[in-house]
Chain A
Amino acid sequence: MSEMRIKNATVYDPINGINGDLMDIAVKDGKIVDSVNGSAQTIDAGGRLVYPGGVDAHTHIAGSKVNVGRIMRPDDSRLNNKPRTKVTRPRTGYTVPNVYSMGYGYAEMGYTTAFEAAVPILKARHTHEELEEIPIIDKAGLTLFGSNWMVMDAIREDDLDRLAAYVAWGLLASRGWGIKIVNPGGGEAWGFGKNVSGLDDPVPNFEVTPRQIVRQLAEANEKLNLPHSIHLHCNNLGKPGNYETTLATFDVCKDIKSKRDRQSLHVTHVQFNAWGGNHWGDFESKSEPIADYLNKNDFLTIDMGQLVFGSATTMTADGPVQYANARLLKARWSNGDVELEDSSGVTPLEYHPQSYIHGIMWAIGLELALLTKDPWKVLMTTDHPNGGPYVNYPMVMTMLMSQKRREKEMAKIAEMTFERTSIAGIDRELDWYDIAIKTRAAHAKVQGIIELGKGHLGVGADADIAIYDIKPDETDATVEFDKVEAAFRHAAYTIKGGEIVVKDGEITATPKGRTYWVKATAPADGHERMMEDLKMKFKKYYSVNMANYMVEDEYVEHPVVFETGYQ
């Protein structure tokens, strides 16, 4: 393939400890190499900011829930419409973009990899159909296990090998990357309209607790030596006072050890789970104890789940929360329970700065990022499209970098917010290096894809590179935040696997991305016991035959298979 040189790049590559060095980057055959010869295509970055391609460890971009959102919301699809170009297909949608816009939008911001955060195994085929249609970016999916009958039965019978075998099988069946747990146990309770109230509330009819589900899946995760840790959406999301559940949940995995150089637990969109008070009336931020915990413990990581004012479409496997939201707001509501596996709900809503509840939620996300000392521990996300659409990432980045930018936002937010949060008093401003950590390096580390060449610009890495129209040394991000946001919004160059896909914020090429999934080997006798249980469940309870269940090769046209196994 072609050779390329990027010269005069001001590089921030935290995984390799590069902090604003002016250097050249050489690319050959889609990878970063030491050097290329004189005839290589040359891009002169002119001293501008260069990051590895963005990595989004948690977003809802493909599959049943997203499409439910699209079908329900022609009012959203009529927004952000762009006709086709020589290179691009027509684009629609703001919170639920069509598949083409989904890929282009990420690439335009310099992002090159994204993880679909929740894949139900029975509907994984659909997820992959959509992932295949999303242009440019590389992707993976996290498979739902947290309310699954096979999982709960193995846990109740204290059979870790069987559990691990099912996880391995489930990842194969769904071509998934890792274990996703959403409101553990609650998805099953929701099958009859109930929920679980906390870690020790047993799941009706299954006699296992959320605590057991989290713990055992974490153990199975490490037995299988999966690249990512368990990825957890805590119980009691969206309920004032839930921060206690969150802290207790962290403790469940405190002594879980991984052989890999990563966390043992990743907790997602913690903003929604860092709530104090007892009800909406005394609702307040509890980001401080959460940040405090993170400052004292190295075994876990989180992502923000930052709120963005304006329209959102909430979509999550936390069925009970979605119903509660819809009832409260008298909003449209779609529910999608998946037999034997999990639940889901989709509800459109609007976040208003004049609602102090939304104001507090807005503050919490930023507080979590700014109060946690180590930038590697808190990934920047909006839980797209739950907190807000991903196209707002550049705005969130500037809010992390500039207190003035936060103050500008705060000026339109309900006053009461500031009595219940600490954001107004936080003056920490993250720098270019910190932002590179929070938008690519840490995401890659958390997901275990550094060794696959993601999230960094060292020799051997994928040539996924973003050049932004900012001269870091000449730009004061604490005041020039509008310029910074515009620059992050429309990359000067996005290079994907050595090919220029975006130039001056416009899509120039639309190669197909790859899909990463994990093939794990499980202990033989655990696998046997698992298959016996599985066959019985297919015979008696699934509405689909086992022979038609697993995702076939045809649905993953450009796979990258990560092999690992039972330890």
Chain B
Amino acid sequence: MIIKDVLCPFCGCLCDDLAVEVENNKVVDVKHACKIGASKIMGHDRIKAPMMRDDKNGEFREVSYDEAINESAKILANSKRPLLYGWASGICEMMKKGVLLNEEVGGIIDNTASVCHGPSALGVHEKGLPTGTLGQFANRSDLVIFWGCNPVQAHPRHMSRYSVFPKGFFASKGRKSRKVVVFDVRKTDTAEMADEYVQVNPGEDYLVLSALRAVVADKADVVPDSVGGVPKEKLVELGEAMKGAKYGMVYFGMGLTQSRGKYKNIDNAVSLITELNAYGKHSILPMRGHYNVTGFGQVCAWETGFVNAVDMSRGIPYYNPGETCSNDLLMREEIDAAFVIAGDAGAHFPAQSIARMGKVPVIQVDPFHNPTTEMANIVIPTKVSGVELEGTAYRMDAVSLRMRKLVDVDFPSDEEVLDKIIAKIREIKGASS
């Protein structure tokens, strides 16, 4: 049986044209997806049953779901500063329960963005975000800039589906309708296939962006001969090219969010785009990583008013990256229990945070074994969202779509586990009040 129009549960591209062949309730083939997406859907070794251990260096013992859930609830109910982290590989329906769980335990809920595009949100608080849906860019853009991102590697089908190759209504020659420019510290695979590569000194993107803004504002006379490794003539040429574009598009990634200045780089890029809109039409879009990391930001915002890193310890949502993000708290050794779901802290957190997690109870909810499992005390396996469970996800451009269920499995969903933990916590707290 071939299931068509399947959505890929891997990256922020959320490609929705996959065809998946299922035989005897098992995925046997995936068409149209890139290698990484196909790999996720084909599936691999998974955690077979809930398990627990007191000593993180010891062996896990298999336990029932009830036991794992009850113990998790006990730990969280008695924590003073629990962290609920991850979320980005799950569906929106379970994220809402995460927000509720955070209310119950008076902890912090945070998602993978805090080590990824969290700074983009901070840039948005400063300047907003002039953007649109991906089809808008596919149909119109004649100048495409990739700044600090490498879609050839990280978002393999992005260029063919959205940013570079599509024959758009107003870009009917596809690739030939657009000029592609890459700004990066090194010549990446994406830079290799671009029309132009601009090398920027590491940590100096902010300066280059400011210089471009000066060029766009007709104030190039104050710009020095070289900024961030880019000669002034080049900056003027690029600035003028951007001004002359009919529809200029900037896609950006970790090259901007994680280098010196972090959120200020995004802030500055957004300002550049805003100022360019006085001349032509320009938009900007963050290249989101996990397929539903955007969804967490949306859910958290409508539920609490804030996009991530929400601290509920005082009973009302408090948001302050630099103070309430996972790593801010872990590196200060504040967290006394960690609940990691649909996200891999172990793989992405700095050593100091991992060291802290090594000292406190860690509960992991995930279908798959990963570096977080190494630190976990309780592991609860669940369905793979988007393969074994249907539900809502938001593409990188904040278009929400419904993930499909392809096969049936005998694992609970993230949402079911969260519901049970919440119920148990209420029981525990009700008993003590």
What is the interface of chain A, defined by CB distance below 8 A to chain B?
A: 64, 66-68, 70-78, 81-84, 89-90, 92-93, 96-100, 122-123, 125-126, 129-130, 133, 190-193, 205, 323, 326-327, 332-340, 343, 346-347, 540-545, 547-548, 552, 554
Contacts and interface: CB of A to CB of B under 8 A. Distances in A.
Q: 10 shortest A-B CB distances, which residue pairs?
A: A77-B305, A339-B135, A543-B135, A92-B305, A337-B132, A193-B281, A83-B315, A547-B5, A334-B128, A335-B130
Contacts of B169: 540-541
Interface in B362-415: 392, 394, 398-402
Contacts of A193: 277, 280-281
10 contacts: A72-B124, A74-B125, A97-B305, A126-B399, A191-B136, A193-B277, A333-B128, A547-B4, A548-B16, A548-B402
Given A70-B305, A74-B306, A99-B303, A123 B128 contact: no
Contacts of A545: 5, 16-17
Contacts of A548: 5, 7, 16, 401-402
Contacts of A97: 305
A148 to B, nearest CB: 13
A98 B128 contact: no
B170 to A, nearest CB: 8
Given A98-B305, A129-B92, A548-B16, A335 B131 contact: yes
Nearest to B297: A71
A89 B306 contact: no
Nearest to B5: A547
Interface residues of B, number: 60
Interface in B265-321: 274, 277-278, 280-281, 283, 297-298, 301-307, 312, 315-317, 319
A74 B135 contact: no
Interface in B153-194: 161-162, 167-170
B12 to A, nearest CB: 13
A99 B302 contact: yes
Contacts of A544: 16, 135, 399, 401
Contact of A71 (B135, B140, B307): B307
Contact of B303 (A68, A98, A335, A337): A98
B303 A338 contact: no
Contacts of A64: 398
Interface string B331-353: 00000000000000000000000
B132 A543 contact: no
Contact of B139 (A81, A190, A323, A541): A541
Q: Which of A122, A332, A339, A541 has the most CB of B within 10 A?
A: A339
Interface of B: 4-5, 7, 16-17, 92, 96, 103, 121, 124-136, 138-140, 161-162, 167-170, 246-247, 274, 277-278, 280-281, 283, 297-298, 301-307, 312, 315-317, 319, 392, 394, 398-402
A331 to B, nearest CB: 8
Given A82-B316, A544-B399, A191 B140 contact: yes
Contacts of B126: 332
Nearest to B390: A554
Given A333-B274, A339-B139, A544-B16, 19 more contacts: A66-B302, A67-B301, A71-B307, A74-B307, A98-B304, A99-B303, A100-B303, A122-B399, A126-B398, A126-B399, A133-B96, A190-B281, A333-B128, A334-B124, A335-B130, A337-B136, A339-B136, A541-B139, A547-B4
B324 to A, nearest CB: 11
Given A70-B301, A332-B127, A337-B132, A126 B316 contact: no
Contact of B129 (A81, A334, A541, A547): A334
